[in-house]
Structure 1
Amino acid sequence: MTDTDGTDSAARSLLGAKWKPRILAALAQNGRLGFGDLQRELGGISNKVLSNDLEDLLEYDTVTRDVVQEQPVRVEYELTAAGSDLYDIVERMADWDAQYVTGAGRPTLLIAEDDVRQIELYSLWLSATYDVVTATDGREALDALDASIDAAVLDRKLPVLHGDEVADAVRGGGEYVPVALLSSEQVRPTDVSLSADLLLSKPIGRTMLENAVAELLRFESLSPAARDVRGRRHRLAFVRDQLGATVEETGPFADAAEELARIEAERSVALREREPWRRLVDESGDALTEDADAGG
């Protein structure tokens, strides 16, 4: 038991600031970032505020600061174990908002399922936390998907328009809505290319559905590029888990894995071009490796 007053805790002080929770989120979602990377991820934060907030986070050992180049000085920041635990508190605060804050703070979820009994069950599970909108066919679901919807769970075998078609329309539209596709069908290698952020199998239990919706809502906080990469990773992992390692030898899976590797490589190159010192660090590391090999 501690004598510390929770209302006057260091964690409360850090999380009560405007930018510190966002710094923690940026590092949690992207890994190691330089000062300029953080500014771009956050947007709107001044050099002075970012510098001061990082110093505060360093003081409490929630981030580390590594000098990767001396002249000119270039540094990278990364979450410590304490920082990761503090970010978990940030996520739990968001979950609390979703569960208890009514009105604008309560996310709106679309559930599209042609089985009325399933809709009633899913709504019962989720309505305590979310405002639930329902649809029983694909056309109705597509009509409901406007700016008021924060996330959607679509059955793949909807009448009129299949869930896949609705997801394709959402992906091609101007307004991003994170989508999960729910299916009782046999998973196929081509499912890696579906227009969904998450793939789910029927039958689905309450905890799994609640976790999936929470994950969908986290997609909204990511950049478009990060959302795309995370969705691709999930689909590949889901199909591999369902069909086994041999699926990696199929054309659709291999093509999707190759495409993901290409996108991730391009993001890495773009990051090095934004911060040229990264290339120097990489080249220095390669040179050290070559020297070590030669010495061996």
Structure 2
Amino acid sequence: MADEYTVLTAHSGTEALEKVSPDVDVVLLDRRMPGLSGDDVLETIREREIDCRVVMVTAISPGTDILDLPFDDYLVKPVSRDDIRDAVSRMLVRASYDDTIQELVAIVSKMATLESMMTLSEMEASSRYTALTERFADLRAEIDVPGSDTELYSEFSTEKIDGVFG
């Protein structure tokens, strides 16, 4: 990846926060980092209003706790070098979207991530998952994208589902 992008490496959450700046386009975070957790680093990045895309790359299986995290994508280890390259490429494309589309795509990523790890009954029982699907519907109503909600969801989540099952 260093041959395609300028790559900065941090070995702790504190070091990551020292290196992240408005010049950074994509951040890859592990939820389990020495010192500050990846969740804390993510929260600080958003508090600082650094406009970068964030991909969580972690061995922690996602649960509804991810609904509170303002990330753009979630990859569960093990991941390949190609998975990382693909995620970075997707994030660079997403950076060109307007704020509403970026939020919509991030929500679809969360939905697809949860759907790959939770049973249907767990999702139906989760008021937080229901709220997420309602936010998706609200955002979908705000934008003018051809096709039905199902087609839009399928279009935006295909890359995520391919990553989980592909």
1:164, 1:195 within 8 Å by CA — same for their partners in 2?
no
Counterpart of 1:280 in structure 2 is none
Quick one: higher RCO (CA 8 Å, sep 6+), 1 or 2? 2
The answer to whether residue 35 in structure 2 is matched with residue 181 in structure 1 is no
**Equivalences for residues 28-47 of structure 1 within 5 A:** none
Q: How many angstroms apart in 2 are the aligned matches of 1:207 and 1:255?
A: 33
Counterpart of 1:209 in structure 2 is 84
Paired residue secondary structure (1:153): strand
Q: How many angstroms apart in 2 are the aligned matches of 1:207 and 1:242?
A: 22
Q: Pick from 108, 120, 136: which aligns with 1:260?
A: 136
Counterpart of 1:194 in structure 2 is 69
Q: How many angstroms apart in 2 are the aligned matches of 1:234 and 1:244?
A: 17
The answer to whether residue 5 in structure 2 is matched with residue 146 in structure 1 is no
2:62, 2:113 within 8 Å by CA — same for their partners in 1?
no
1:137, 1:161 within 8 Å by CA — same for their partners in 2?
yes
Amino acid in structure 2 at the alignment position of 1:263: L
Counterpart of 1:50 in structure 2 is none
1:240, 1:247 within 8 Å by CA — same for their partners in 2?
no
Q: How many angstroms apart in 1 are the aligned matches of 2:73 and 2:57?
A: 9
Q: How many angstroms apart in 1 are the aligned matches of 2:68 and 2:138?
A: 15
CA RMSD of aligned residues (A): 1.6
Q: How many angstroms apart in 1 are the aligned matches of 2:69 and 2:120?
A: 20
Q: Deviation string for 1:196-216 (max 9, x for gaps)?
A: 000010111121111111111
Tell me how far 1:164 sits from its aligned partner. Answer: 0.9
Q: In the comparison of the two structures, how many residue pairs are matched?
A: 143
Query: 5+ unaligned residues in a row in structure 1: which ranges?
Result: 1-125, 272-296
**Equivalences for residues 128-167 of structure 1 within 5 A:** 128-167=3-42
Q: Deviation string for 1:99-131 (max 9, x for gaps)?
A: xxxxxxxxxxxxxxxxxxxxxxxxxxx112111
Identity across the alignment (%): 24
Counterpart of 1:171 in structure 2 is 46
Bigger radius of gyration, 1 or 2? 1
Q: Pick from 240, 244, 247: which aligns with 2:122?
A: 247
Q: Output the TM-score relative to the length of structure 1.
A: 0.46
Counterpart of 2:101 in structure 1 is 226
Query: 5+ unaligned residues in a row in structure 2: which ranges?
Result: 145-166
Q: Output the TM-score relative to the length of structure 2.
A: 0.79
1:156, 1:183 within 8 Å by CA — same for their partners in 2?
yes
Q: How many angstroms apart in 2 are the aligned matches of 1:197 and 1:147?
A: 17
1:138, 1:166 within 8 Å by CA — same for their partners in 2?
yes
Amino acid in structure 1 at the alignment position of 2:47: G
Amino acid in structure 2 at the alignment position of 1:261: A
